[in-house]
Amino acid sequence: MKFLVLMLAIFVATESSAQIYGFNTFDSSYGPNGDELQVKNMPPVRSQDTLGVCYAFSASAIIEHTICKENKLDCKDLPNDQRPSVLDLARYATDPSKLQDKSDPNSYPKELGNEFTFGMDIILNMFNTESVSKESCAPFDNIVSKARSVNEQRADEEKMWLQFRNAYDMYKIKSKDCEQCALDYATTTGKDLQKSYNLKTNNLEMLKAFGAATYQEFLFRALVPENCGKAGKRIRFYTTEKKMGIWPLEDTNKPNYDVAITKIKEQLSNDRPVLVNSLCTLKQPNRECIKTTSNGTESGGHGLVITGFRKMCNKSGKCYDAVKVHNSWGQAWQDANNDGWVEAKELLDRTRYQYGTLSWIEFK
Amino acid sequence: MLLKLIIALNSFAYAYPSQLKVWKDDKYIPVVIKEHQGLHLSEVCLKKSPANCDAFNATKVVTTASATRTGTVGHPASRYCHDKNGVVRILISNDNKQYDFCLFKDGSMIDSWELYYKHFPKEVIK
């Protein structure tokens, strides 16, 4: 008996917090059955890399699809000059009621959000501002695909974002005792960051970044040049002929899968991808989607886009609803998960059907 | 029936690109990818037999998640790559798809999601 208890304790103790849930795939005994709904002309799947901005990537996918549809462009080959900047979109994840002028992009905080922000807010604010910086102005892919070799990178820093964090924290410490020392530090470190990560921000912008009140603001200012706010560097997103759909309009906090999947199918049949604002990928989902471990707290919230629906059945006639997920975890994730086809109910139940679980863009 | 067959074939016939490219020094450079024991690795891993490189060896032992967090979250495979003392590289295919790879000190790379799923298997409906 003691042995069993010990084994159970070991099993529980070694269960890693790295495991994610909510993406049940199907083995080869299952196949598509019946009609299928799938949105056409989605942009390529991207990777958020090590940055927690899934909400910006999911909103970006919806917005890009809308741009392509409106302008009759092939979304697979959209140049960076015609794509919204993921980093600029990230700062739209804010409550517009707190802003002086929600239609002015400059009113929005110059900072990246945190893991508790939502793609739905970004789309809402795109409707408010009707513009966003071009991806070519602050290309996310070039920043995260580091220029240096592993040895160089790991000799000088542990992780890219840790280096940014350390730089900011060190500046704050130095500035308490010696302003000139802090300025010298910011000048030197800023140049290192620019060179290491191929940043497009100039020296003055880097210094301003170090002076930011919060780390999130520092990160944004370091990564996105100020001229990305100028007219020639922005994409216009006209909203006269568009509107945003949201479901549900209030927290339900009760199982509502049938209504949710009906809403999703309705949008897909009209060639509209659907943004899932936040699902909880922890083993035991809770409202805040936070787990406390011996390593600290961990957030399991994630946003993604649904672009397809089908039934998956086996020979015995056992069937499941499946949705196609357009995730921000790279193409390899899509390939490893049946091109993103996962069990619908497991995924949607993890949203808890809170306000704004689903959102989409419609043409009027 | 024919439509179902076409859909099924499309669904499961993923040809993993044998050549990807990585952004380095202001340009893209090609990276040749080979399959070995169900894993996609950079060519350098398979220059000798048996395969012996940091990327392949990383698949042999489970690593627990580290306490270090940068204040950003990232996706699970990226985080696990860092837990394995690798760094993330996004490789691009000719049709602009992005693949997350985990790069190790010896220059070898492995598909980050394959490394992750090796130790944290997917939930599969059977």
Nearest CA in chain B to A333: B113
Query: Using an 8 Å Cβ cutoff, are B101 and B51 in contact?
Result: no
Section A200-219 average pLDDT: 90
Q: What's the CA gap between A130 and A240, in Å, rounded?
A: 10
- Give the total number of structural domains in chain B: 1
Sign of the Cα torsion B112, B118, B119, B123 reads positive
Nearest CA in chain B to A301: B73
Measured between beta carbons, the chain A residues lying within 8 angstroms of B73 are 51-52, 54, 115, 299
Section A275-297 average pLDDT: 81
User: What is the number of other CB atoms lying within 10 angstroms of the CB of residue A319?
Assistant: 13
Query: Using an 8 Å Cβ cutoff, are B40 and B116 in contact?
Result: no
**Is residue A14, in this structure, part of any structural domain at all?**
no
Residues 30-49 on B with a CB inside 8 Å of A are 40
pLDDT of residue A214: 87
pLDDT of residue A15: 43
pLDDT at A13 over 70: no
CA–CA distance from A314 to each of A319, A332, A351 (Å)? Answer: 7, 26, 27
Query: Which residues contact residue B118 at a Cβ distance below 8 angstroms, ignoring those fewer than 6 apart?
Result: B39, B59
User: What is the number of other CB atoms lying within 10 angstroms of the CB of residue A208?
Assistant: 19
pLDDT at A150 over 60: no
B116 touches chain A (CB under 8 A): yes
Radius of gyration of chain B from its Cα atoms, rounded to whole angstroms: 16
A34, A92: one domain: yes
User: What is the number of other CB atoms lying within 10 angstroms of the CB of residue A120?
Assistant: 26
A129, A151: one domain: no
Angle at A335 (CA atoms; ends A307, B46), nearest 5 degrees: 160
**Is residue A15, in this structure, part of any structural domain at all?**
no
- Condensed to tens digits (0 to 9), the pLDDT of residues A28-44 reads 999 999 999 999 999 99
B89 touches chain A (CB under 8 A): yes
**Is residue A347, in this structure, part of any structural domain at all?**
yes
User: What is the number of other CB atoms lying within 10 angstroms of the CB of residue A188?
Assistant: 10
pLDDT of residue B118: 94
Average pLDDT over chain A reads 85
CA–CA distance from A91 to each of A96, A193, A205, A257 (Å)? Answer: 11, 21, 17, 31
**Is residue B53, in this structure, part of any structural domain at all?**
yes
Q: Can you give the residue range of the structural domain that contains B115?
A: 16-119
Report the candidate in A251, A252, A276, A240 with the shortest Cα–Cα distance to residue A348: A276
User: How far away is chain B from the Cα of A306, in angstroms, using its nearest Cα?
Assistant: 16
- Condensed to tens digits (0 to 9), the pLDDT of residues A34-85 reads 999 999 999 999 887 767 788 899 999 999 999 999 999 999 888 889 999 9
Task: State the complex-level ipTM.
Answer: 0.76
pLDDT at B1 over 80: no
A241, A314: one domain: yes
Q: Can you give the residue range of the structural domain that contains A212?
A: 141-223
pTM: 0.83
Share of chain A above pLDDT 70, in %: 87
Chain A interface, mutation test: which of B41, B125, B126, most A Cβ atoms within 10 Å?
A: B125
Q: Among A190, A223, A256, give the residue marking a domain's end.
A: A223
Measured between beta carbons, the chain B residues lying within 8 angstroms of A343 are 125
- Condensed to tens digits (0 to 9), the pLDDT of residues B16-62 reads 888 898 877 667 889 999 999 999 999 999 888 888 899 999 999 99
Section A276-286 average pLDDT: 87
CA–CA distance from A15 to each of A5, A297, B36, B84 (Å)? Answer: 15, 15, 28, 17
Q: How far is CA A220 from the centre of its chain?
A: 15
Query: Using an 8 Å Cβ cutoff, are A203 and A221 in contact?
Result: no
Measured between beta carbons, the chain A residues lying within 8 angstroms of B68 are 158-159, 162
With H, G, I as helix, E, B as strand and everything else as coil, classify residue A353. Answer: coil
- Condensed to tens digits (0 to 9), the pLDDT of residues B73-126 reads 468 888 888 889 888 888 888 887 889 899 999 999 999 999 999 999 999 999
User: How far away is chain B from the Cα of A115, in angstroms, using its nearest Cα?
Assistant: 7
> According to the 3-state scheme, what is the secondary structure of chain B?
CHHHHHHHHHHHCCCCCCEEEEEECCEEEEEEEEEECCEEEEHHHHCCCCCCCHHHHHHHCCCCCCCCCCCCCCCHHHHHHHHCCCEEEEEECCCCCEEEEEECCCCCEEEHHHHHHHHCCCCEEC
Strand partners, A363: A242
- Condensed to tens digits (0 to 9), the pLDDT of residues A293-308 reads 766 677 788 899 999 9
pLDDT of residue A113: 66
Q: What's the CA gap between B108 and B32, in Å, rounded?
A: 11
- Give the total number of structural domains in chain A: 2
